[in-house]
Amino acid sequence: MLKSFARYYKPHWKLFVLDMVCALIAASCDLMYPVISRNIINTYIPDKNLQLIFSWCAALLVIYIIQTIMQYIMQYQGHVVGVRMQADMRRDVFTHLQKLPFSYFDEHKTGVIMSRIVNDLMDISEFAHHGPEDLFISAVTIIGSFIILCTVNVPLTLLTFIMIPFLVLFIVKKRTAMTVAFRKNRIEIAEVNASLENSIAGVRVARAFTGEAEEQKKFNENNQRYVAVREKAYRVMAEFFSGTNFLTAMMNVIILAGGGYCVYAGVITVGDMVAYMLFINMFVTPIKKLIQFVEMFQNAITGYVRFEELMNVQPEKEDEHAQELTDVKGEITFDNVTFQYDEGKEVLSNISLTFPQGKMVAIVGPSGGGKTTLCHLIPRFYEISSGSISVDGHDIRTVTRSSLRQKIGIVQQDVFLFTGTIFDNIAYGKLGASREEVIEAAKKANIHDYIMSLPEGYETFVGERGVKLSGGQKQRISIARVFLKNPPILVLDEATSALDNVTENYIQDSLDELCKNRTTIVVAHRLSTIKHADEIIVMDRDGIQERGTHAQLLEKENGIYKELYEAQFARI
């Protein structure tokens, strides 16, 4: 794991080395004060050598100026290293997310995923900077102090450092408890984020159903679980810090008793004892840095473990010899296809059918019959369990996903608009499209006139997920995307479900024009929209039950389609 983490230092090794060099110089500067103080007290003051006293004080001032410059570089460039590493990790995890199968997002909450990308990586960034730096400074200070103190009095130095093994044992013992506590803390933070994201996204539904109290209750439950876990983490931290502070304080007691006796016995001078006390007080600082290092390490390592867990999720697999899909005519063939989301009940069982080139095929039937799932299998949003799906005779598993999806235009029932302008959202259908192309697509979707009536026109911001637009307006923008993409295969999954009858009729001619000479698959509950389809397929949980034209299916006695049609129009 550490090897995996260390590779993120590689692109920024120059800044990292600069940070370590500055840390070495800054730590060395700290060691000079006790040494100079000892010489002044032991020699220059008794000798009344005022010139050397002021000369060494001036030298000490220069040393502190140098240390200040080093600390400035450490604080600035060191944090730059950390934030750049954080950005690299965030880039890698975002790139990885783009390759994960849809099933991953079906099973994981958006707020939890966001917490792994934001909260966890923030602590990793802090450790990337402060961790090596604090460890290095502490090592230089402790080793340097030990060597210098040994030149004064070896027995007293060994007596002073006798507390270190006890300190190390205590830190090791508490480390496991801290690891467990901080990991649970991460999990609960992610759950709170997920609860927040879900409640904020559904605030309109909550208000409409007067469910504010219920949302508050759910949030409070998650929040209290977080508080409970955080309290346990703080208890472990309190034990850790109080214990280590006591052990480091004992070092002051030892040096005061031992040093006082040595001065009394004439083994060391008063200046030596002052130097000891200064070194010990200085020595306590790197020990506290090491303690902080352990805390940062626990935070970072639990965050990095969760980062690695996400990075280790297997992405969508591409065939090693996958070819680009080109010159698509649009014939789609399902050959004995079976699909299940997990080990549970199959959603589709042994489905065999063909969508002819350039024809419109409608799929209807009760909810839960697998209509939308079938459409999602064509662009390989999910992998089939058995059988094969081919486009123009090419098994879709032997072509690249990118080239396959470029040939398919999808208008879904649940329209998603990105935060941005109307222009940006339409242009998403063909990245890099000119303004003229976007306007032409909007005209075909019969949304251009409405856009031009807005004060900002195509530069109007749609709000988060298009909240500033009506359902019908969002649907027409999504249809404009497909006009712009101009693919040979269309999938219209309840494409007009958000439109009223007047608006639906208004854009139906545009949809009919779009469908010409393209293979079009229409999933529909509103049967009036698919009466002119070349073929209608009726599906339920048991698979394909009926197929034929609108007129043929209406002729079937006790047919499912006939019952659906009559039930629907009986309500009109």
Same structural domain, 234 and 285: yes
Residue 289 lies in a domain: yes
Higher pLDDT: 498 or 127? It is 127
CA distance linking residue 494 with residue 571, whole number of Å: 20
In a domain, 317, yes or no: no
Asked if residue 517 belongs to a domain, the reply is yes
pLDDT in tens, 382-431: 888 899 999 998 999 999 988 898 898 888 777 778 878 889 888 888 88
Q: Tell me, what's the pLDDT at 197?
A: 67
Q: Classify residue 498: in a domain, yes or no.
A: yes
In the chain, what is the straight-line distance between the N-terminal and C-terminal CA atoms, in Å? 65
222 and 99 assigned to the same domain: yes
What would the two tokens of residue 86 be? 């954080």
Rounded-to-integer distance, Cα 553 and Cα 527, Å: 12
Q: What distances in angstroms separate CA 87 from CA 77, 122, 124, 162, one per listed residue?
A: 15, 10, 11, 43
Q: Which residues pair with 539 in a beta bridge?
A: 544
State the residue for tokens 């949809």: 511
Q: What is the DSSP letter of 407?
A: T
Q: Report how far apart, in Å, the C-alpha atoms of 212 and of each of 110, 208, 233, 310, 491 are.
A: 21, 9, 31, 33, 37
CA pair distance 21, 6, nearest whole angstrom: 18
Does 261 fall in a domain? yes
Token pair of 412, please? Answer: 């879904």
Does one domain contain both 64 and 134? Answer: yes
Query: Is pLDDT of 171 > 90?
Result: no
Share of the chain above pLDDT 90, in %: 7
Q: State whether 366 and 435 are in the same domain.
A: yes
CB 364 within 8 A of CB 371: yes
Same-domain check for residues 475 and 403: yes
Domain-embedded: residue 319:
no
Residues 101 and 186 in one domain: yes
Those residues with Cβ within 8 angstroms of residue 402's Cβ, 6 or more apart along the chain or in another chain = none
Is residue 350 within 8 Å of 336, Cβ to Cβ?
yes
Tell me, yes or no, whether 324 lies in a domain. no
What DSSP line would sit under 231-264, residue for residue? Answer: HHHHHHHHHHHHHHHHHHHHHHHHHHHHHHHHHH
Domain count, the chain: 2
Token pair for residue 422?
């109307």
Q: DSSP character for 410? A: E
Q: What are 98-138's pLDDT values in tens digits?
A: 888 878 887 777 777 877 777 778 778 778 777 788 888 88
A 10 A CB-CB count for 140 gives 19
CB 144 within 8 Å of CB 27: yes
Do 351 and 460 reside in the same domain of the chain? yes
Residue 9 in any domain: the answer is: yes
Residue 205 pLDDT: 62
Q: What is residue 518's predicted lDDT score, i.e. its pLDDT?
A: 87
Answer yes or no: are the C-beta atoms of 19 and 81 closer than 8 Å. Answer: yes
Confidence bin at 244 (pLDDT 50/70/90): confident
| Distance between CA atoms of residues 285 and 283, nearest Å | 5
Expressed as residue numbers, the domain containing 352 is: 332-570
How confident is the model over 314-369, as pLDDT tens digits?
Answer: 888 887 888 888 888 889 999 999 988 766 677 888 889 999 998 889 998 887 77
Q: Please report, to the nearest 10 degrees, the dihedral formed by the alpha carbons of residues 489, 494, 499, 500 taken in order.
A: 120
Query: Which residue's entry shows tokens 């698959």?
Result: 521
Q: What is the CA radius of gyration of the chain?
A: 35
Asked whether the predicted pLDDT for residue 46 surpasses 50, the reply is yes
Q: Are residues 288 and 374 in the same domain?
A: no
Q: What is the pLDDT of residue 572?
A: 46
pLDDT exceeding 70 applies to what percent of the chain?
Answer: 90
pLDDT value for 389: 92
Give dist(CA 424, CA 19) in Å, integer. Answer: 43
Q: Is the pLDDT of residue 2 over 70?
A: no
Same domain, 439 and 471: yes
pLDDT band at 35 (very low <50, low <70, confident <90, very high): confident
**Whether the Cβ atoms of residue 71 and residue 289 lie closer than 8 Å to each other:** no
In this predicted structure, the answer to whether residue 456 has a pLDDT above a threshold of 90 is no
Starting at the earlier edge strand, list the strands of the sheet with 535-540: 408-411, 489-493, 519-523, 360-364, 535-540, 543-548
Query: Domain containing 474 — which CATH number?
Result: 3.40.50.300
Q: Which of 346, 342, 483, 353 is nearest to 409 (CA)?
A: 483
For residues 384 and 170, which has the higher predicted lDDT (pLDDT)?
384
DSSP 467: T
Per DSSP, the residues of 506-550 read HHHHHHHHHHTTSEEEEE-S-GGGGTT-SEEEEEETTEEEEEE-H
Q: How confident is the model at residue 303 (pLDDT cuts 50, 70, 90)?
A: confident
Q: Which residues contact 192 (CB under 8 A, 6 or more apart)?
A: 111, 219, 222, 223, 226
- Residue 90, pLDDT score: 86
Residue range 17-31, pLDDT digits in tens: 888 898 889 888 888
pTM: 0.68
**Residues 266, 402: one domain?**
no
**Would you say 1 and 304 are in contact if contact means Cβ atoms under 8 Å apart?**
yes
Q: Is the pLDDT of residue 377 over 80?
A: yes
- pLDDT band, very low/low/confident/very high, at 570 (cuts 50, 70, 90): low
The CATH number given to whatever domain includes residue 304 is 1.20.1560.10
Query: Element (H or E) spanning 175, and its range?
Result: helix 163-201
Mean pLDDT estimate for the chain: 81
Q: Are residue 359 and residue 269 in the same domain, yes or no? A: no
d(CA 29, CA 141): 10
In a shared domain, residues 305 and 352: no
Q: Are 312 and 337 in contact (CB under 8 A)?
A: no
Calpha distance 544→353 (Å, rounded): 9
